[in-house]
Amino acid sequence: MTSRILFILEGKKPDNSYARLLQEKMAENVVIQQYHTDIYALYSELKKDEYFDTVSMIAERDASFEYDESDFSQIYLFFDLDAQHDGYEAEALDKFRELLAFFDNETDKGKLLISYPMVEAFDYFSPNFLPNTSENKLQVFLYQHGDEKFKTKVTRFRKKNQSAGNLSLKVDYFVLINFALLDEEDIFNQIIDGTTMLERQIQEVASKKRVYIVSGYAQFIVGYFGSKYFDDILKKYDYQKMIVDVKEAN
């Protein structure tokens, strides 16, 4: 039987292009399926019946999706914080806690990977954000909710930063962000998990209605390729001497 991985996306054009980029880099057969509603609707349906699986739910909604649960070894769900139009309110954030607890296993219901504030975070990148030999700073950015729309900000940013398309450096950057956002009491030298990341973001939302710009796709890459991949990136940038420089996105 062919081993397949299922990517479930929100159904937006940028999301699809990022997923296809990953699809080209992976040995396994990746099936990309768009889910044209927010993830909480999927969760609500699955929660009604503990024996109903994610793949069957997708197939029930889309007749062209001709797969069953046995066709996939892993399931990943890529969604945005902004998928909830009230994503910065306490009630919506509590929902994401539920979602991460429910979608916590790629070999069962699926593993949820959240982009903050949205999938376009993957394009808010410049090689200048990475630590270098002269100034060992990692630049980490915050997006202020209620500011200029994030999509607009990213579009304008990309016009000024044509080199933002370097996939390898981009992954390095978002992996380093995941590491940089670990609290001191967390185990040193590990990738931040989805729940810890959410709680870290909630601290910023509660105080200033803002979030760290973080890509769910980078979280997937590290989880997929494993801890050695993560460790190699940390060593490459001499993480023990790395200075984290946090600033507002402009």
Using pLDDT thresholds of 50, 70 and 90, give the confidence band for residue 112: very high
Residue ending a domain, among 79, 98, 115, is 115
Kindly state whether residues 136 and 44 are assigned to the same domain: no
DSSP state of 240: G
Using pLDDT thresholds of 50, 70 and 90, give the confidence band for residue 179: confident
Kindly state whether residues 125 and 244 are assigned to the same domain: yes
Q: Name the packing angle between helices 39-48 and 54-61 (round to 10°).
A: 110
Alpha helices in the chain (DSSP H): 13-25, 39-48, 54-61, 90-102, 150-160, 167-180, 194-208, 216-225, 227-236
40 in Cβ contact with 99 (< 8 Å): yes
How far, CA to CA in Å, does 72 sit from each of 109, 184, 202? 11, 37, 33
Kindly state whether residues 100 and 43 are assigned to the same domain: yes
Which of 14-23, 148-157, 197-206, 232-241 is predicted with the least confidence, judged by mean pLDDT?
A: 14-23
Kindly state whether residues 125 and 243 are assigned to the same domain: yes
Q: Per-residue pLDDT for 128 more than 80?
A: yes
| pLDDT for res 140 | 94
Of all residues in the chain, the percent with pLDDT exceeding 90 is 30
Across the chain, mean pLDDT equals 84
| pLDDT for res 190 | 62
Kindly state whether residues 134 and 88 are assigned to the same domain: no
- Return contacts of 104-111, CB within 8 angstroms, 24+ apart: 104/194, 106/74, 106/75, 106/76, 106/223, 107/73, 107/74, 107/75, 109/46, 109/53, 109/54, 109/75, 110/6, 110/8, 110/54, 110/75, 110/76, 110/77, 111/74, 111/75, 111/76, 111/77, 111/194, 111/223
Q: For residues 113 and 90, which has the higher predicted lDDT (pLDDT)?
A: 113
Domain range enclosing 179: 119-248
| pLDDT for res 187 | 45
Q: What is the signed CA dihedral for 207, 197, 114, 124, rounded to 10 degrees?
A: 70
Q: What is the signed CA dihedral for 86, 92, 96, 98, rounded to 10 degrees?
A: -150
Residue ending a domain, among 85, 115, 145, is 115
Residue 29 phi, psi (nearest 5): -80, 115
Structural domain tally of the chain?
Answer: 2
Which of 56-70, 96-110, 164-178 is predicted with the least confidence, judged by mean pLDDT?
A: 164-178
Kindly state whether residues 97 and 145 are assigned to the same domain: no
81 in Cβ contact with 115 (< 8 Å): yes
